[in-house]
């Protein structure tokens, strides 16, 4: 029951997108899609190499993966870019704080409710990978922003 609630909660984050101005949504949606794609790749690679485990049947595992990849991550990217793009150090600081919160209290909570369990992946690995993705996303947004303005 709690796992179902967590999945619904992660997907429901999309409701917040309706208050982002349409112009900004169109501007930052490509980087949000890239965030989902990169997260999907990392989740599949990590699952293959037993970096983490998901409990349950194949259907349950797929629902858990989709709630992570299509839930809070792309929406979080939209919001972070909405408020920090163009202010690189604020962007880095915001991502660092968000990743620290996710890596420590949130992952600990997820492990307690059997949502996900890190096996061969530490919280330091999480921070390193997440901050690397943040840099890739920022560079991508700079690139597509310049190509649209030319």
pLDDT for the residue 99? 94
pLDDT at 53: 86
Whether 3 shows a pLDDT value over 70: the answer reads: no
Question: The whole model's pTM is what?
Answer: 0.87
Average pLDDT over residues 64-79: 84
pLDDT-derived band at 1 (thresholds 50, 70, 90) equals low
Greater confidence (150 vs 65) lies with: 65
In a domain, 18, yes or no: no
Q: Is the separation of the CB atoms in 141 and 85 below 8 Å?
A: yes
Specify the length of the chain in residues. 150
Task: Determine the pLDDT at residue 7.
Answer: 67
Q: Is residue 37 part of a domain?
A: yes
Do the domain assignments include residue 135?
yes
Q: Into how many domains does the chain fold? A: 1
- What domain range is 74 assigned to? 28-149
Sign of CA dihedral 18, 24, 30, 36: negative
Task: Tell me the mean pLDDT in the region 40-58.
Answer: 87
pLDDT band at 147 (very low <50, low <70, confident <90, very high): low
Any domain includes 2:
no
- In this predicted structure, the answer to whether residue 98 has a pLDDT above a threshold of 50 is yes
Q: What is the pLDDT of residue 150?
A: 45
Query: Average pLDDT over the chain, rounded to whole?
Result: 88
From CA 83, how far away is CA 62, in angstroms rounded? 32
> 23 in a domain, yes or no?
no
pLDDT score of 34: 96
Is residue 12 in a domain?
no
Residue 67 lies in a domain: yes
Quote the CA–CA distance of 10 and 63 in Å, as a whole number. 11
126 assigned to some structural domain: yes
Is pLDDT of 54 > 90?
Answer: no
pLDDT confidence of 62, banded at 50, 70, 90? Answer: confident
């Amino acid at each position: 029951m709690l796992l179902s609630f967590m999945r619904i909660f992660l997907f429901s984050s999309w409701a917040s997108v309706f208050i982002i101005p349409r112009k900004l949504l169109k501007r930052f949606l490509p980087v949000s899609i890239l965030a989902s794609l990169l997260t999907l790749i990392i989740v599949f690679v990590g699952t293959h190499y037993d970096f983490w485990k998901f409990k349950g049947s194949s259907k349950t595992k797929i629902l858990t993966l989709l709630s992570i990849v299509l839930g809070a991550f792309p929406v979080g990217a939209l919001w972070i870019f909405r408020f920090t793009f163009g202010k690189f150090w604020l962007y880095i600081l915001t991502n660092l704080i968000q990743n620290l919160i996710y890596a420590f209290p949130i992952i600990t909570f997820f492990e307690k409710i059997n949502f996900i369990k890190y096996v061969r992946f530490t919280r330091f690995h999480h921070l390193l990978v997440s901050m690397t993705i943040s840099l890739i996303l920022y560079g991508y947004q700079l690139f597509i922003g310049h190509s649209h303005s030319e």
